[in-house]
Amino acid sequence: MFNKILIANRGEIALRILRACREMGIRAVVAHSKVDANSLPVRLADESICVGPDDARSSYLNIPSIISAAAVTDSEAIHPGYGFLSENAAFADICRACGITFIGPSPEAIRLMGDKAQARELARQAGAPIIPGSEGPLKDEDQAHSAAEAVGFPLILKAAAGGGGRGMRIVREREALAQAFHTCQAEAAAAFGSSEVYLEKFVEEARHVEVQVLGDRAGTRIHLGERDCSVQRRYQKLLEESPAPAIPPATRAGLHKAALAVAQAVNYTSAGTVEFLVDREGNFYFIEMNTRIQVEHPVTEMLTGIDLVREQILIAGGEPLRWRQSDIRPVGHAIECRINAEDPDTFTPNPGRVTAWVPPGGPGVRVDSHLMPGYTVPSVYDSLIAKIIVQGADRPEAINRMRRALSETIVEGVKTTIPFHLRLLEDPVFRAGSFPIPKLEVAL
Ligand code: MV4
């Protein structure tokens, strides 16, 4: 196993990775920007190293700086966390070329899944259901029109290099297609450096359900059940839960099988997530695969008892999976609420100095957070300050426990989304756990 790992991330996930390293007896170096120099993960790390100024481009995304940091600290591996360099295939290539282990899947798997049009084609070949749409990227306006004729309206244009809701455009009628196609291409070129765009039928009123998978280098692959992430605002997830509520048993089994087929088809190693849309009738469709540890991974850890970050590190070190599919037995129901330093009504970021912090506790509660009293939430990064995760015997018990946990949490000095979550948990549409999906701006 590794002697030392460089953590190329910040905030709660840097602390989460540090905790896994500690428990495994692996020394951890936290790479940090200037503004994060006094952060909790840096203070708790075995070593730390400044990799640049506050803006992420100059520090957490600065590949030469991160690679140099690994070299000068004798780190044998780099854990990228989520965001930043976590799904950067070129970075994974460079790690490989430098003899540093990238803790994640192969550059090939990252690259393939990073091209959402190619991922869709791979899923189709693997036998996973996909949404009716174009075959590969659209070459020109004419191709867009013929693909649109075949699927009908409304449809959605998606940037092949996008993902997670970035670079998407809904088109409701034929008259709007040409203009939307060109705008989408131009935006994709500007945002992702590739103008490739594909289209799909727009599935109205779908739930977002994703399946956690693990694969080792010997080719063993298992799934760890699904998470429902339908409560979102502007593609930012706010609350995630598992098992996905109110889906038919055949749909759940089908999701798990399709996720494994997709993972198999890219020879996937490490922890990954296969995303699907699920409609009212229980039909499901592959949308994309995320080749990183996700923010919401603790939901799965709480139900299965498996430490996903530990597994990522073991797999990267060449260890075979210690679990067979039949060993995975999720217990009860888990919910995660993302706590952001934001106005709970407008979701406007509210960075600043945290004067008081009392996290919740008690039975069935987990808190992943880098907060400490006196900490200043910087304005330059995303505003996630804590994740509160609870487990209960069933969904009603988990909801009740989350209300209890949120109501005992104290954060002073910055506004947080806790009041939003308390309202959401009271909402009859959320509590029904089925269709429709809670309307955040209107009903809440
Ligand atoms: C869609 C869709 C409807 N139709 N694709 C969400 C995140 C990104 N991975 C893709 N997403 C969507 N893709 C088609 N063909 C709707 C979404 C979507 C969504 C889906 C379920 C629950 C919440 C959502 C919020 C935004 C977008």
- In CATH, what number is assigned to the domain containing residue 139? 3.30.1490.20
pLDDT at 94 over 60: yes
Q: For residue 252, what are its two tokens?
A: 């759940």
Residue among 171, 203, 233, 247 whose CB has most ligand 1 atoms within 8 A, to mutate: 203
Last residue of a domain, one of 162, 181, 201: 201
Nearest to 375 by CA among 16, 10, 40: 40
Amino acid at 352: G
pLDDT-based confidence at 86, cuts 50/70/90?
very high
- pLDDT at residue number 59: 98
- pLDDT at residue number 442: 46
**Of the listed ranges 59-63, 210-214, 227-231, 232-236, the one predicted with least confidence:** 232-236
- C-alpha to C-alpha distance for 220 and 328, rounded to whole angstroms: 14
Residue position matching structure tokens 């075959």:
135
Q: If you take atom 18 of ligand 1, which residue's CA is the nearest one?
A: 165
Give the list of residues 6+ apart from residue 254 with CB closer than 8 angstroms, or none: 284
Name the residue range of residue 68's domain: 4-103
CA of 330 to the centre of ligand 1 (A): 26
Domain match, 286 and 392 both: yes
Q: For residue 348, what are its two tokens?
A: 């406007």
- The string of pLDDT tens digits covering residues 32-81 is 999 999 999 999 999 999 999 999 999 999 999 999 999 999 999 999 99
- The string of pLDDT tens digits covering residues 151-163 is 999 999 999 999 8
- The string of pLDDT tens digits covering residues 382-439 is 999 999 999 999 999 999 999 999 999 999 999 999 999 999 999 999 999 999 999 8
Domain match, 148 and 240 both: no
Last residue of a domain, one of 175, 201, 227: 201
pLDDT at 109 over 90: yes
Considering the chain, what is the average pLDDT of its residues? Answer: 96
pLDDT at 443 over 50: no
CA of 163 to the centre of ligand 1 (A): 10
Domain match, 249 and 361 both: yes
- pLDDT at residue number 353: 98
Residue among 168, 275, 434 whose CB has most ligand 1 atoms within 8 A, to mutate: 168
Domain match, 407 and 360 both: yes
Residue 16: CATH number of its domain: 3.40.50.20
Distance spanning both ends of the chain, measured CA to CA: 49
- C-alpha to C-alpha distance for 359 and 26, rounded to whole angstroms: 27
Q: For residue 307, what are its two tokens?
A: 């430490």
**HSE (CB half, 13 Å, CA atoms) of 74?**
6
Domain match, 195 and 211 both: no
Q: For residue 310, what are its two tokens?
A: 């530990």
Residue 432: CATH number of its domain: 3.30.470.20
Tell me if 341 is assigned to some domain: yes
Tell me if 117 is assigned to some domain: no
Assess contact for 274 and 262: CB atoms under 8 A: yes
Domain match, 182 and 277 both: no
**What are the pocket residues of ligand 1 if the criterion is a CB atom closer than 6 Å to any ligand atom?**
131, 156, 164-165, 200-203, 206-208, 230, 232, 235, 275, 277, 287-288
Tell me if 123 is assigned to some domain: no
Tell me if 118 is assigned to some domain: no
Domain match, 347 and 220 both: yes
Tell me if 112 is assigned to some domain: no
Residue position matching structure tokens 């036998």:
127
Q: If you take atom 17 of ligand 1, which residue's CA is the nearest one?
A: 165
Domain match, 85 and 218 both: no
Last residue of a domain, one of 160, 182, 201: 201
DSSP 326: G
CA of 36 to the centre of ligand 1 (A): 34
- C-alpha to C-alpha distance for 418 and 10, rounded to whole angstroms: 22
- The string of pLDDT tens digits covering residues 284-299 is 999 999 999 999 999 9
Whether 292 sits among the annotated catalytic residues: the reply is yes
Assess contact for 229 and 436: CB atoms under 8 A: no
pLDDT-based confidence at 440, cuts 50/70/90?
confident
Three-state DSSP at 198 gives strand
Tell me if 84 is assigned to some domain: yes
- pLDDT at residue number 166: 87
Tell me if 402 is assigned to some domain: yes
Assess contact for 435 and 358: CB atoms under 8 A: no
Domain match, 194 and 302 both: no
**Closest ligand 1 atom number to CA of residue 437:** 22
Assess contact for 240 and 97: CB atoms under 8 A: no
> Whole-structure pTM over 0.95, yes or no?
yes
Tell me if 108 is assigned to some domain: no
Q: E strands within 40-186?
A: 47-52, 77-79, 101-102, 155-163, 166-171
Assess contact for 397 and 41: CB atoms under 8 A: no
Domain match, 229 and 247 both: yes
CA of 306 to the centre of ligand 1 (A): 29
Three-state DSSP at 29 gives strand
- pLDDT at residue number 194: 87
Mean pLDDT value of segment 364-369? 99
- C-alpha to C-alpha distance for 413 and 416, rounded to whole angstroms: 9
Residues of the chain with pLDDT > 90, as a percent, come to 93
Assess contact for 205 and 280: CB atoms under 8 A: yes
Residues of the chain with pLDDT > 70, as a percent, come to 99
pLDDT-based confidence at 441, cuts 50/70/90?
low
How many folded domains does the chain comprise? 3
Domain match, 171 and 314 both: no
Domain match, 191 and 325 both: no
Catalytic residue of the set 120, 221, 252, 292: 292
